[in-house]
Structure 1
Amino acid sequence: MDKRLQQLRAADRLSAPLVIQALLPTFVPLHGDRVLGDAPALTAGFGRTSTDQAITVLGIDRGSDTTSRRQKNGGALTVPGYRTALRVVDHAEKFGMPVVSLLNMPGADASPASEAHGQSQAIADLIAAMGQLTVPNIVVFLGEGHSGGALAFANANRLIMLDDALFNVASPEAVAAILHGQQTVSDAIDLLPMTAAELHQRGLVDRVLAHQQPDLIAALIQQLQLLLQPLQTMTPTDLIAQREAKFQQFLAQWPLN
């Protein structure tokens, strides 16, 4: 396996639950989609920061050992996860709370069961809801975030990535497979703009944080606070327009040179 992927998928990787615990000393989780049940990979709910700022969080975690990774499906979110996230987002908008998403996931679950329960529709519904939010939303890539499964959360006003994180339409393994062995997994990472540095250069990512700094969680929380402040002064119409403009500007650069 590529060394970069080994690092991203290490058991001691910074996880969404750890960030949520530090960000929101007071936290109330919300479970289930009221139809199919719960998604263990998703931590979702509402809380207040140490400065009494109300925030909604959506965190996806792969798990840290064999047992937890099996329980959380390796971070591949199922239909109940997307529908639960949609429930939480609806509440956030109703009560005027900004949304922070923390991602480390290979993409959406692609099992026959998920497809049978409308996985693509669940993803599309969340992408649309995130894009039309009248409150600020920020996404943080703690590790990997691939395919529409990650894009559902990444339709955001601001994007933060750890410097070794990846965000792409498909995982490096999937890219290599699509090219029928013409590229190695390592080559696939460099073939498309999926690294934090590349995406920041192209204007899609707003902040890149060094993953090896002494107090990464504190630095991340500080960046979240800095990015949220100006967003909260924007009108709902401007928030929606800013999200669309961010992705339109990125798409305007294709085909890549």
Structure 2
Amino acid sequence: MEYLEFELPIKELEQQLDKCEIIGKESEVDVTETCKQIEKKLAETKKEIYKNLTAWQRVQLSRHPNRPYTLDHIKALCGDTWLELHGDRNVKDDKAMIGGLGKIGDQSYMFIGQQKGFNTKTRQYRNFGMSNPEGYRKALRLMKSAEKFGIPVVTLIDTPGAYPGLEAEERGQGEAIARNILEMARLKVPIITIIIGEGASGGALGIGVGDRVMMLENTWYSVISPESCSSILWRSWEYKEQAAEALKLTAKDMKRMKLVDAIIKEPLGGAHTDRDKTFSAVKNAIVKAYDELKVLEPADLVSQRMAKYDDMGVYKD
């Protein structure tokens, strides 16, 4: 188990509890009461820390190395029904963008999302979750296939941004993302979007237009990362915490500004502390959203989706 800096008080108490239990097992000393006191203190400390998280701390939780990634979610949701599809039929198969068919219950879905790696080798293989243009074109190809067969689309967002390399720009990174936004706005099947980790910039928007857009509790969604914002405004990464607060990028901020539709609650301590509970919450959110959307005619679905995005940013003085 890896701990973030603000979680160190929890780490110390858990280590004390482990030592206390070992003493109880290896000696005749009764440590039951001591263990209970430590457990009580541990529960209070967890509650106090996690109910007062700052924006930057939530960003850290969204990047936790033990946090479940897109493939973890899909395999937990679909089991053996998951069939991955590859390639954009033009350049190559982008490993940072995955997609394919899977079932939740008896309902088929087209799942699309960014995949990060869990060690150095797989991070390089997945390009750290940063897609090239062919990744977005693969995503669009799969969405169009889903539309053809009347299959709802589920997108899972977890990316630090689209790949900013020269070769990506040469192959039309901006056009690929813009094309996806246009086509998703008028797709004639339900689109359910969930931010499961980082939701940064156009890299997220390229698969982020949905009828229902939801965020896991400890995720973020913004035009720029706190570090990049800090480096632009202050010429240093030292102000990333201040930038995170100013960007209003947390799930609560996004919900309050009506930029997302719902927040999916995570287990205390983050999605990685109880994966099964997290997967169950995501599954329930997808099923509920689809039940609300499946009754709509395609024309009404598109009309409501466009109206939803037209209303964003409108305010009265």
TM range (shorter): over 0.9
Specify which structure has the higher proportion of helix.
2
Q: Quick one: distance in 1 between partners of 2:116 and 2:192?
A: 20
- What aligned pairs does 1:174-213 form with structure 2 within 5 A after superposition? 174-181=228-235, 184-212=239-267
| Corresponding residue number in structure 1 for 2:98 | 43
The answer on 1:152 being equivalent to 2:206 is: yes
Same amino acid, percent of matched pairs: 35
Name the aligned partner's letter for residue 186 of structure 1. Answer: E
| Corresponding residue number in structure 1 for 2:14 | none
Shift of 1:212: 2.1
- What aligned pairs does 1:95-134 form with structure 2 within 5 A after superposition? 95-134=149-188
- What aligned pairs does 1:226-237 form with structure 2 within 5 A after superposition? 226-237=288-299
CA-to-partner distance for each residue in 1:120-162, whole Å, 9 max, x for gaps?
Answer: 1111111111111110001111111111111111111111111
Name stretches of at least 5 consecutive residues in structure 1 with no aligned partner: none
Q: Quick one: distance in 1 between partners of 2:183 and 2:292?
A: 22
Of 71-80 and 179-188, deviating more is 179-188
Q: For the Cα contact (< 8 Å) 1:135–1:239, is it kept in 2?
A: yes
Shift of 1:3: 3.8
CA-to-partner distance for each residue in 1:86-145, whole Å, 9 max, x for gaps?
Answer: 110010000001100011101100100000111111111111111111100011111111
Q: Quick one: distance in 1 between partners of 2:248 and 2:286?
A: 24
TM-score norm. by structure 2 comes to: 0.76
SS at match of 2:210: coil
Q: For the Cα contact (< 8 Å) 2:114–2:158, is it kept in 1?
A: yes
TM-score norm. by structure 1 comes to: 0.93
Shift of 1:180: 3.2
Q: Quick one: distance in 2 between partners of 1:193 and 1:130?
A: 25
SS at match of 2:195: strand
| Corresponding residue number in structure 2 for 1:34 | 89
Q: Quick one: distance in 1 between partners of 2:73 and 2:93?
A: 21
Q: Quick one: distance in 1 between partners of 2:246 and 2:160?
A: 18
Q: Quick one: distance in 1 between partners of 2:102 and 2:267?
A: 27
CA-to-partner distance for each residue in 1:45-74, whole Å, 9 max, x for gaps?
Answer: 11222x210110002122111111111111
Name the aligned partner's letter for residue 92 of structure 2. Answer: G
Q: Quick one: distance in 1 between partners of 2:103 and 2:281?
A: 18
CA-to-partner distance for each residue in 1:188-221, whole Å, 9 max, x for gaps?
Answer: 1111231100111122222212222541101110
SS at match of 1:179: helix
SS at match of 2:151: coil
The answer on 1:244 being equivalent to 2:306 is: yes
SS at match of 1:190: helix
Length, aligned pairs only:
254
Instruction: Pick one of 273, 284, 287 that aligns with 1:225.
Output: 287
Q: For the Cα contact (< 8 Å) 2:157–2:208, is it kept in 1?
A: no
- CA RMSD, Structure 1 to Structure 2 (Å): 1.9
Shift of 1:246: 2.1
Q: Quick one: distance in 1 between partners of 2:225 and 2:183?
A: 24
Q: Quick one: distance in 1 between partners of 2:203 and 2:150?
A: 25
Q: Quick one: distance in 2 between partners of 1:151 and 1:251?
A: 16
Q: For the Cα contact (< 8 Å) 1:11–1:64, is it kept in 2?
A: yes
Shift of 1:242: 1.9
Q: For the Cα contact (< 8 Å) 1:11–1:65, is it kept in 2?
A: no
SS at match of 2:158: strand
Q: For the Cα contact (< 8 Å) 1:204–1:246, is it kept in 2?
A: no
